[in-house]
Amino acid sequence: MSAHNRGTEFDLSWISKIQVNQPAVLRRAEQIQARRTVKKEWQAAWLLKAVTFIDLTTLSGDDTSSNIQRLCYKAKYPIREDLLKALNMQDKDITTAAVCVYPARVCDAVKALKAAGCTIPVASVATGFPAGQTHLKTRLEEIRLAVEDGAMEIDVVINRTLVLTGQWEALYDEIRQFRKACGEAHLKTILATGELGSLTNVYKASMIAMMAGSDFIKTSTGKETVNATFPVAIVMLRAIRDFFWKTGNKIGFKPAGGIRSAKDSLAWLSLIKEELGDEWLKPELFRIGASALLSDIERQIYHHVTGRYAAYHDLPMS
């Protein structure tokens, strides 16, 4: 990943006069969704690119060391070897960007990836995921323990109450403490945008999170009723662009929740390309949080190579 975002001093003037033009955002979102997707070999190339952005995720109550092991194996070998050979991509070392798990499973993931002989980072959710409604002291300790266990990236959730009540400096202070607790690990801040009430709040929360030192801003936990949507993404991406213009710092973006089809992933890639440019289309600055997405991408690549759709037993799942 790229160097840490050191953040800036708290400055309310960056957000105090902001008002998001919702109809314009919705029009832009419709444009993106209506666009025809790339076809044939260009589609296969874009889908392989999409694989390298995936934070392959399992956040279930019934996670065990054995399904974490399978997940890690799938992260290292996301696409069947014979399919990669058919595309002449077998020596390109295509893996997912990271593996994302609960804090208690970080040790299992680190161990499994080490056994597989790969350097894919482990990301851990933290800070009372998904609601963030635990004591600050507990939330900070959760970050420290995940980092101790070997997590290289921490996906924290913000306290939505602070956004909904306009306590921007308190939000800044909390994220600043998360940043400090992460040490050398990268900080990805989940805004849970479906619970922030308005697109204006989404912009403000994005800007505060970046000011406070977030390396990435992320749409959702995947557990809310509304997760990654294009209108929210456009607002967050414009905030990233504004922050870059103000500070020269490039902050990453991670949509998560509900991104399940290969076609969806292509729309997200084109949105990033259009809003922020090609320099953001790399795992250091763009991730997709997903669990089911990889299976569909592999099925589409299988179809491209063989001309038929795979039966479920043709493709091993993590």
In the chain, where are the structural domains located? 17-314
| CATH number of this structure's domain 17-314, picked from the four choices 3.40.1440.10, 3.20.20.70, 3.30.365.10, 3.40.50.12640 | 3.20.20.70
Residue 318 has pLDDT above 60, yes or no: no
- DSSP string for 93-121: ----SEEEE-GGGHHHHHHHHHHTT--PP
Give the pLDDT confidence of 218-249 residue by residue, as tens digits. Answer: 999 999 888 999 999 999 999 999 999 999 99
Structure token pair of residue 71: 């997940």
Where residue 88 falls (left for φ over 0; alpha for ψ -120 to 50; beta otherwise) is left
**pLDDT > 90: what percent of the chain?**
90
Give the pLDDT confidence of 139-185 residue by residue, as tens digits. Answer: 999 999 999 999 999 999 999 999 999 999 999 999 999 999 999 99
Strand order in the sheet with 54-57: 252-254, 216-218, 186-190, 153-157, 122-126, 98-101, 54-57, 288-290
| Nearest in space to 243 (alpha carbons), one of 7, 4, 2 | 7
Computed over every residue of the chain, the mean pLDDT equals 95
* Residue 253 DSSP class: E
Distances (CA, A) of 150 to 144, 177, 217, 242, 284: 10, 19, 21, 33, 19
Q: Could you give the CA distance from residue 245 to residue 278 in angstroms, rounded to a whole number?
A: 17
- The answer to whether 114 is a known catalytic residue is no
Catalytic-role residue among 76, 204, 250, 254:
254
Angle at 165 between CA 164 and CA 170, to 5 degrees: 105
Catalytic-role residue among 17, 218, 263, 282:
218
Structure token pair of residue 145: 């323990």
The pLDDT assigned to 1 comes to: 67
- The answer to whether 254 is a known catalytic residue is yes
The pLDDT assigned to 215 comes to: 98
* Other residues' Cβ atoms within 10 Å of the Cβ of residue 86: 16
The pLDDT assigned to 311 comes to: 81
- Check if the beta carbon of residue 62 is closer than 8 Å to that of residue 103: no
